[in-house]
Amino acid sequence: MHDPSATSATVARTMQTASQRTFGLVESVIREMTRLALHYGAVNLSQGYPDFPAPAEVKEAAKRAIDGDINQYAITWGAKRFRDALARKASATFGWEVDPETEICVTCGATEAMFASFMALLNPGDEVVIFEPFYENYGPDCSLTGAIPRLVRLRPPDWHIPFDELEAAFNERTRAIVINTPNNPTGKVFGHDELEKIARLCCERDVLAVTDEIYEYIIYDGQRHVPMATMPGMRQRTVTVNAMSKSYSVTGWRVGWTIAHRDLTNSIRKVHDFVTVGAAAPLQEAGVTALSLPQSYYDSLAAEYNKRRNHLLGILEECGFRCFRPQGAYYAIADISRFGFENDTKFAEFLVREIGVAVVPGSSFYRNPADGAQQVRFAFCKKEETLNEAANRLRRLRDRL
């Protein structure tokens, strides 16, 4: 509450009492770019949210759930019908048998699922292996937990894993490895052989895998998503993080989950319970409908994204970008060196202000900003007309070549 008697000295003292764990946190660059896009009326290809509608039957199910008075707290670790639906889906899609009573925790999006897993399973000083470039939340997840990230750089243009470096990154303090496949921002899909080698390392060194599989259905060129938990020896030591956000185009619903061995799940549920109590009850009910959509839904989701991917890559190449072709997820990293800007931030500012297109500066995905200084990330989870409008604006860049 506002206290008009507070002096500036009181305020200064209050500011000093901000916890140390928040000191290293800065505002998400991605969400900041969305604000700039609104400010300049730019086409927003920065933040990864679709600008097209969610499936009609899923929206109808949410409305029915609210009208049917599913409006009070669900069971804290997830409504039974939704957990049952998740277990049925894992079994039908991957032959992966999950106990909905003990192995699932429903969370507020993949963001909370990841954070609750870190809080539940890591101690300050534990090391976590993370591939770079990385999704920007993993850094704050580490700093809020006190875990220490140990980065291993994926190598362009195919973003392959340098396995000698990966092996060298594992030591006696390593507690977990984070794997995000299909990957944001690179579009890499971790292959079966790569996952097998990582799994072997995890088993040999007694390390947990926390796998962010939120783009599992957005995958191209005949690739197949392989959940890490289904690799030999990994069932007991994998926390699978996922959400409705991307598969059903409902990033604002904030419904996610973890699947993990009952002992791991027990700890995750405790953190989740005290941080959020639970995810939105009517939207979990709508999730039951979403999870029972037929295979044709996922086929057409991937096919539509494939069209958007090819559309955007065509535009970018025509305008002078050199692109890394994504195999999954809905982002493309583009090299900007031909445009002669000092760095990615200057280029992104120019693009949003002068050209009217918002992107994410590549440095947001690297620990050392210099490593991403000639890259930007485009999101293509957008309607055809949005991509066309971006194309019209981006063509003006050709004058600068």
Q: Which positions touch ligand PLP (CB under 6 A)?
A: 48, 109-111, 135, 180, 184, 212, 214, 243, 245, 251, 256
Q: Which is nearer to ligand PLP, 176 or 355 (CB)?
A: 176
Q: Is 156 exposed, middle or buried (0-12, 13-18, 19+ CB in 10 A)?
A: middle
185 within 8 A of 334, measured Cβ to Cβ: no
Shortest spacing between CB 84 and ligand PLP, in angstroms: 21
Residue with tokens 């029915």: 64
Q: Which is nearer to ligand PLP, 48 or 282 (CB)?
A: 48
CB-based closest residue to ligand PLP: 109
Q: Which is nearer to ligand PLP, 183 or 386 (CB)?
A: 183
Q: Which is nearer to ligand PLP, 109 or 397 (CB)?
A: 109
For residue 85, the SS3 value is helix
Quickly list H helices, 41-191.
56-67, 80-94, 109-121, 138-145, 163-169
Shortest spacing between CB 258 and ligand PLP, in angstroms: 12
Shortest spacing between CB 47 and ligand PLP, in angstroms: 8
Q: Which is nearer to ligand PLP, 185 or 319 (CB)?
A: 185
What tokens does 273 get?
């319970």
359 within 8 A of 317, measured Cβ to Cβ: no
Shortest spacing between CB 214 and ligand PLP, in angstroms: 5
* 317 half-sphere exposure, CB direction, 13 A CA radius: 9
Shortest spacing between CB 298 and ligand PLP, in angstroms: 18
d(C-alpha 108, C-alpha 88), whole Å: 21
Q: Which is nearer to ligand PLP, 48 or 78 (CB)?
A: 48
Helix 109-121 / helix 138-145 crossing angle, nearest 10 deg: 30
Shortest spacing between CB 111 and ligand PLP, in angstroms: 3
What tokens does 365 get?
């995905």
What tokens does 83 get?
């957990």
